[in-house]
Structure 1
Amino acid sequence: MTQIRLFSGTSRRNMLSFAKKSLWHMSSSSGPPIPQQELVDEEFCSDYKSAGFYPAKPGETLAGKFQILVKIGWGSQSTVWLARDISRLKWQSEKVVALKITNSNNADDARHERDIESHITHQNPEHRGCTILRTCLDDFEVTSPEGKHVCLVYEVMREPLWILQRRFVDRKLPLPIAKAYIYFLLVGLDYLHSECKVVHTDLKLGNILMSFENENILTDFIKRQEPMRCKVSGESGRTIYRCHNDFGALDGREIKNMVPKIADFGLATILDKPSTENGIVGEQFSIQPIQPDYYRAPEVILGCGWDFKADIWNFGVLLWNILGSKELFQQVLDTNGQYDAKSHLAEMIALLGPPPDTLLARSKTMSEYKWPQSLMNDTGEVCNNAQEFFNGPFFDAEDKFRYNALIPFRNLEHTIPFLEDKDRAAFLSFVRQMLTWLPEERKTARELMDHPFLSLGG
C-alpha cells in the first residue's frame, strides 16, 4: 500500500517549531464513584432504554479473539472499546484494536457500514488516498439479552480533530499544519470519489481522526490505566462505564508524523450506476436528505438531486471549523434548536449571491416527483419530497426568494478574521471553488489539491 509522508526537510522543521510553540498540555484526572442519579455517556441518548446497547465489561473476550480493555467512545448507536487481540502467536508483537460494538437495534446500519468500508478497501489499495480512509479490519457478531450486535474492528486512532484543536493556543491549528491536513483529506476524498464512487455525506470534525505517531503511546496508556469509573443501572442492571479516552499530553514532535483520516461511513452512499430516480435516467445522483445541518449543500435542500459534489460543498464549509474553530453559517437553527432551511438559504444568498435560474428550475422539476419511500422530518411530518421535508417552497413563481428579511448583512470576506491579511485572498479563491450554487461548477478533490493556498511556502 502506498505510504504518504506528511512533511520533509525545511517544512518538517517549521512544523515542529509551530507545534512546540502552540501546544497546550492536557492531563487525565480521576474522581470518586459515579452517583446513581448522574447520567453517564450513552445514558444521555434520548432512546437509551430501548436502544439495545451491548453490556460490555473489561476482561470479557468476544469471538474468542478480542479481550476488552477500556471504553474509549460512545454514540447513540454504539460503544467503542480498546481490545487486545489474543489470537496472536507468542513470537508476534501484541496488537490492540478499537472495537465498535453496535446496538442490537442498529444491526442493519452496521452491516451497511461494513459493506461500504469493505468496498472502499478493495477498490484500489495502491491509491495513496486509501491510507487516509479509516475502514474496518474485521467484523463479527455477538449475542446478548438485547439481541444480536455487529462488531466492527478498527485501527486505534489517537483522537478526533476537534480534540487535537483543543491542544493548541486559542484552539487554532497553526496554518502550515492545517494546510497539510486539508491536503491529505482531499487526497482521501479523491480516492473515495474517483475510485470508489462513494459519497461520504457526513464530513465533520468528529469524523476526522488523528493517527498515533507510534504505538508506544498506546502501550503506555494501557499500562497506566486505572479501573474505569462506572455505575450499575438500577433499571436494567447494566454496568455503564465512563470513557477513558485521553491518551495523554501531545509532544510537539509527534505532529510531524500524525495523519488525519476520514472515518465513519455509516451514512455513505455508493453512486456507481446512472440514476433512475423517479424514472429519470441520467447522471449518477441521489435525492434523499443528507448531511449535518451546518454543512448541507443547497442542492440537497432544494431537492435537485446530489452527487459527489455535495461532499465538496460540505468540505468547503468545514474549512472554517478546521482553520478557525468556528461555523461559517450562523443562522442554521431556529430558537428551538431545530434546523431552519429558509434561514440557511438566506445566509447562502448573503455570502454567494442569489442562486442561478438553472438550479431553481431543477428544484421545480424534481418537486413534481415523489421519493420512492416517504421519510419523516424533524417535526414528525411524513414527507414525500425535499420541499415538504425542509418546509418549502423557498422561491415564488418568479424565482424570487420569499424570505428576504432573513438575509443577513454578511459577506464571505468578513467571515475569516482567523486568517492574516496575506492569506485571505488565496483562501477565498480556494473556497470559492467549493462553495458554488451549481454542483457542476465545484472543483473535484483532485483539482483542489493543486490550489496555491495549500502551498506551504517553504
Structure 2
Amino acid sequence: MSLSSRSWKKLCSPAFQRSSALKRSPVLKSNPVFKPSPAWKPLDFPRKGIAIISVDEKIEEENLPDYATSRYYPVAIGEIFRARYQVVGKLGFGTTSTPAGQHVALKLYVESDPSDISLDNELKAFERIQNTSNKHPGRYAVRSLLDSFYIDGPNGRHQCLVHPPLWDSVYGFRHRNSVRRFPEPVMAFVLERPFQALDLLHQECHIAHTDIQEGNLLFSADKSVLRAFEQEEAEELDNHSPIRARRRNCLPVA
C-alpha cells in the first residue's frame, strides 16, 4: 500500500534523507497512473576504475540467513532489460527479490522452485486490482503492476515485476522522529490511504491482505527525488566511489 507524494511532502521535512530508482521508456498504456514518455537515450556509465570492497565483507542481502549467490540475478548498473528499462541505481533488497527502480522500480525475484505458487498468486492479485474501477479512491493507494517479464540469469530464470517507485515506509519515517511516534492528527492522516486501499481489496477485489504493518505502508517518491537519485548515482560512478558508498541509501523491502 502506498501514500501519495503529496502526503509525503506534508509530513517530511527537507532534513530527511532522500532516495529511489530506475529509468524507463513508455510502459503499459493500460495503466491509469503512468503516461507514455518520449523515447530516451540510454545513459553511459563508467566500467573501470571503481573501488571494490573485499569479497570477504558481506553486505545487504548477503547477510540474510538463507542467502545463496546462485539464486540472485547479478544486476549491473547501466544494464538494460527488454530494450525498455535501464538500471541507474539499487533501491533495496529482500529475501524474495531485489528492486532495481519517466522512473520505475524493477523487482527481480530470486530463482525459485517452479512449483512455488506464491508469485502466481501475487500476479493474480495484481490482475484483480487492474480490473477494478479507476474511480475508487483505493485504486491509487495500492501499488500497481506496470509490466512483467522473465530474464535468463547464469543459474536460471528470474521473474521481473515493474512498479511505480516508492520511497520510505511509515516505520522508517516514524523512527526518524526523536519520540518514535506520530501526533494524533498526523496518524489519522497517514492511515487514511491504507483504509481506502483495504476497502478496494476487500469490497472490489475480494482479497485479504495478511501482512498489514508499518513496513508495508510506503510513500510514493516525488519526481525531483528520483532525478536527484539518478544524478547522484552518475556522479558517484564518475568519481569512482566504492560500492559501499553508492549503496548507503538502500532500504530493505518486502
Report SS of the residue matched to 2:98. Answer: strand
After TM superposition, the score normalised by the length of structure 1 is 0.42
Give, in whole Å, the separation in 2 of the partners of 1:187 and 1:25.
Answer: 27
Aligned AA for 2:187?
A
Task: Give the equivalent residue in structure 2 for 1:105.
Answer: 112
Partner residue of 2:191? 182
CA displacement 1:288-344 (0-9 Å, x = unmatched): xxxxxxxxxxxxxxxxxxxxxxxxxxxxxxxxxxxxxxxxxxxxxxxxxxxxxxxxx
Contact 1:41 1:243 in 2 (8 A): no
Partner of 2:250: 245
User: C-alpha displacement at 1:72, in angstroms?
Assistant: 0.7
Deviations 1:24-44 (A, max 9, x none): 64489xxx8533322111111
Whether contact under 8 Å (2:5, 2:219) holds in the other structure is no
1:44 equivalent to 2:59? Answer no
- CA deviation digits over 1:167-216, x for unaligned, max 9? 3232222321211111221111011101110011111222111112x311
3-state SS in 2 of match to 1:199? coil
Once the two structures are superposed, residues 407-458 of structure 1 have per-residue CA deviations (whole angstroms, 9 ceiling, x without a partner) of xxxxxxxxxxxxxxxxxxxxxxxxxxxxxxxxxxxxxxxxxxxxxxxxxxxx
Report the CA distance shift for 1:5/1:243 in structure 2 as closer, same or farther (over 3 A). closer
- Structure 2: gaps (5+ residues): 20-50
Residue of 224, 242, 247 corresponding to 1:216: 224
For the pair 1:56 / 2:62, whether they are aligned, the reply is: no
Read off the aligned partner of 2:250 and give its amino acid letter: N
Structure 1: runs of 5 or more not aligned? 8-14, 83-94, 232-240, 247-262, 265-458
Structure scoring higher RCO (CA < 8 A, sep ≥ 6) equals: 2
C-alpha displacement of 1:142: 0.4
Among 53, 70, 74, the alignment partner of 2:93 is 74
**Change over 3 Å in CA distance of 1:6–1:60 after alignment to 2:** closer
Please name the residue that 1:116 is paired with. Answer: 125
Output the aligned Cα RMSD: 3.0
Query: Which one has a larger percent helix, Structure 1 or Structure 2?
Result: 1
How far apart are residue 229 of structure 1 and its match? 4.2
Matched to 2:200, the amino acid is Y
Cα shift readout 1:68-118 (whole Å, capped 9, x = no counterpart):
111111111111112xxxxxxxxxxxx110000001116643333122112
How far residue 221 of structure 1 moved from its aligned partner, in angstroms, is 1.7
Is 1:153 equivalent to 2:132 in the alignment? no
State how 1:28-427 maps to structure 2 within 5 Å.
33-49=52-68, 52-82=71-101, 95-105=102-112, 108=116, 109-212=118-221, 214-225=222-233, 226-227=236-237, 229-230=242-243, 242=247, 244-245=249-250
8 Å CA contact retained: 1:114, 1:152: no
For the Cα contact (< 8 Å) 1:70–1:244, is it kept in 2? no
Structure-2 change in CA distance of 1:27 and 1:203 (3 Å): closer
Kindly indicate whether the alpha-carbon contact (under 8 Å) linking 1:54 and 1:103 is maintained by their aligned counterparts in 2: yes
Q: How many residues were matched structurally?
A: 210
| Contact map agreement 2:97 2:108 (CA 8 A) in 1 | yes
Rg larger in structure? 1
Give the Cα separation in 2 of the matches to 1:5 and 1:25.
Answer: 14
Q: Distance in 2 between matches of 1:106 and 1:140?
A: 17
For residues 269-304 of structure 1, what are the alpha-carbon distances to aligned partners after superposition, in whole Å with 9 as ceiling and x for unaligned?
Answer: xxxxxxxxxxxxxxxxxxxxxxxxxxxxxxxxxxxx
